[in-house]
Amino acid sequence: MTTIRLYNTRTRSKGDFTPIDVQNVRLYVCGPTVYDRAHVGNARPVVVFDTLFRLLRHVYGADHVSYVRNFTDLDDKINATALQRQQAGAEGTLEALIHQRTEETIGWYHADMDALGAMRPTSEPRATEFVGAMIAMIEALIAKGHAYAAEGHVLFDVRSYPDYGQLSGRSVDDMIAGARVEVAPFKRNPMDFVLWKPSDDQLPGWESPWGRGRPGWHIECSAMSYELLGASFDIHGGGLDLQFPHHENEIAQSCCAHPGAGFANVWMHNEMLLVEGKKMSKSLGNFFTVRELLQQGYPGEVIRFVMLSTHYRKPMDWTAEKAREAEATLRKWRALSAGAQDDGQIDQAVVDALADDLNTAGAIARLHAMAREISANSTRDCFYEKGVFLASARLLGLLSDDLAGWDTEVDLSALTEKLTAVRADAMASKDFSGVDALKSALIAAGVEVRMSKAGVELVPGAGFDPAKLEGLL
C-alpha cells in the first residue's frame, strides 16, 4: 500500500499518515458561508481537498473514506439579504426567506464547484440542521467549567484550556497584547469567544437554556464534525485564513467537550490565492467569482489545472497567461488521450507525487513527461500507455468525461491546405506578406500555427474562437 505523507500544521512537520481506522478514513473541511457566489479564492480549498479525497479513495478504497464539508447557513449577511427581501414585500417568515436564500446560494455553489470537476463530499451538513447538537455541546462545556453564561450569551473561557494557541503558535498573553477583539463587559477575558448569542425579532433564533438565540460560528464545525465523524478523526482541512481564530477555537471546544479524544490528528491548510501577483480585492478590480471566470470563457477544467499547478502550501497566483498555458496543455492532452480506455491503471510516479504531501505540481510534471513519451512514439501502438495516462490525469480530476466538450474539435484541414498553398507561392515569389496576414488572423482566432520543413500544422490553442475563422477561406 502507498504510504501517504502529509504536513501537519499543528506539529509543523511532515510525517507518515496513519489512519485511526483504515476501514473508515475520515476528513473534515470547513465549507463556505453561503451568502453569495463563491469567489475564485473560495475554490482553492475545494480543489485541494477534492484531490486529497481522490488520493485517499485510491489508496484506501472508495467505500472506506468519509469526507464531510459543511455549509454555514447561519450568517449576518444571509440574514440581512432575507430581511431586505421581506421588507420589499416577499412572502413568508424571516426563517423561510433565509432558507430560500441559502437554497439559492447552495445551488450556485454546487453548480460552480461541479464545473471545476470537484466530487461532492460524502456529507454536506448545514449548520441549521445541527443547532440541537451545538446546544448540547455548549451545555457540556459549561458543566465541565470551560464556558459561562452572561447576559444571554455563552462564552468559552480560553484560560480553561492550557493548550490554547498551539495550532497558531501563539500564547494567550501575546494574543491579548495585540488583540483586536470585541471587548464586552460580560467577558472574563478579552480572548473569550462566543458560543451562543441572543437573537431579536429580526434575526433567526432557537430556544435554549440561555434564551432565544443562535450559535456562534466556531461551535458549528465542532458539533457537526462530532456528530458525523466522532470525537476523533483523521484530517481537518481548510484555508490558512481559518487557522486562527476558527480552527484554534474548534480545537479548544472539541478537546474540552471530549477530553482525551484529541479531535483531528492532522491539520492541513492551503495558502491564499493571488490574482496577477496581488491580493484579491474589489478595490483593485481583481476580484472574481468562479461564475464570472466561467462566463468569461475559462473552462472549469482550465481553472482546476491552474490551481493544481502550485503546491497547496504555497501562495497561488492566478494569471491570464497561466490560464492560456493550461488551456493549450489540456487541449493537447485531450487530443492525445482521445479514444483511450481508462482501466484504472494509474502511473505509480503520479501516485507517489500526490502521496508526498499532495504534490500536485510534481504529479502534473510527470503527466507532461508521459505525454511527451507517448507523442514521441507515434509509430507504435501506445493504446495501453494512453490509457494509463488518462487514468493518471483523472486521479487529479482532469480529462474526465464530465469536464469534456469545451475543447470540441474543429476541422482545420481546409485552412491548413490554404496556408500551405500561400506559403508555397511565397517561397517562389519571396513575398511573404500573404503568409504573415493569414498567420496573424489564425493566431488572433486562437490557433497555434506550426510551420516547418515537413509542412504546416494548425492546432486549436488557448482562447480558440472558431467564429473568428469565418471569412478566412
- What pairs with residue 156 in β-bridges? 147, 193
Residue 429: how many other CB atoms lie within 10 Å: 10
Residue pair 203/188 in contact (Cβ under 8 Å)? The answer is no
Query: Which residues have C-beta within 8 Å of that of residue 411, sequence separation ≥ 6?
Result: none
- CA 71, CA 110: separation in Å to the nearest integer? 11
C-alpha cell at 117: 470537476
- CA 346, CA 363: separation in Å to the nearest integer? 12
- CA 296, CA 127: separation in Å to the nearest integer? 33
pLDDT of residue 180: 55
The amino acid sitting at 450 is R
In DSSP notation, 133-152 reads: HHHHHHHHHHHTTSEEEETT
The amino acid sitting at 138 is I
Residue carrying the nine cell digits 482501466: 343
Q: Please say whether the dihedral angle defined by the alpha carbons of residues 234, 240, 246 and 249, taken in this order, is positive or negative.
A: positive
Residue carrying the nine cell digits 495585540: 178
Residue pair 386/371 in contact (Cβ under 8 Å)? The answer is no
SS (H, E, C) 57-105: HHHHCHHHEEEEECEECCCHHHHHHHHHHHHCCCCCCHHHHHHHHHHHH
What 3-state DSSP class applies to 398?
coil
Query: Which residues have C-beta within 8 Å of that of residue 217, sequence separation ≥ 6?
Result: 72, 74, 246
Classify residue 357 by burial, with Cβ atoms within 10 Å: 0-12, 13-18, 19+: buried
Mean pLDDT by 10 residues, the chain (473 residues): 96 98 98 94 97 98 98 89 87 85 96 98 97 98 98 96 93 66 79 94 90 95 98 98 96 97 97 93 87 94 98 96 94 91 95 98 97 82 87 98 82 87 90 91 86 82 77 83
- CA 394, CA 69: separation in Å to the nearest integer? 22
Domains located in the chain, CATH noted: 5-273 (3.40.50.620), 326-395 (1.20.120), 413-469 (no CATH)
Q: What does R_g of the chain's alpha carbons equal in angstroms?
A: 27
CA angle at 52 for the pair 47 and 56, rounded to the nearest 5°: 150
If we measure between CA atoms, which residue out of 172, 148, 144, 145 comes closest to residue 158?
172
- CA 424, CA 412: separation in Å to the nearest integer? 18
pLDDT of residue 465: 76
Buried/exposed code over 294-310 (b: 16+ C-beta within 10 A; e: otherwise)? beeebbbbbbbbbbbbb
